[in-house]
Amino acid sequence: KKNNFKEMRISGSQLGEFKNQSILLVGELESSNGNQCFLKATDGVKVECHLNNQLPALDVAMDESANIYEFDGFVDDSGILQVNHVVQLHGDAHGFNLENYHRLLEFIHHPSLQFA
């Protein structure tokens, strides 16, 4: 049986491997214009995202720690994340660390990696 956690939580560079699948993507909101926004994933990859029409538009905050989000959505054929649900996380000042989260993703998808 496959591990759903592994299948769903990905980094930006893995987006192409998950076309036509539901995923969870965590990153920093870089820009937003209506229902289109760009999220800088934990591996630094810039991901184009389209928010479901039922979701409110997002604004980039001056406080970078307030720009950390988890997007739940579907990767379409062109590699754009069609977002159905958004959770605002709290950045380093509040305990959420994007670098540590990315290391966790690497371990989940490549369990043979060794970390110092």
Give the model confidence (pLDDT) of 22-34 as tens digits. Answer: 999 999 999 999 8
The rounded distance, in Å, linking the Cα atoms of 9 and 7 is 6
For the whole model, what pTM was predicted?
0.81
112 secondary structure, DSSP code: T
Residues of the chain with pLDDT under 50: 1-3, 6
Q: How many helices (H) and strands (E) does the chain have?
A: 2, 6
Task: Take residue 100 and report the two structure tokens written for it.
Answer: 């540590």
How much is the pLDDT for 95?
A: 63
Find all residues with CB under 8 Å of 9, minimum gap 6, and list them. Answer: 23, 24, 25, 26, 105, 108
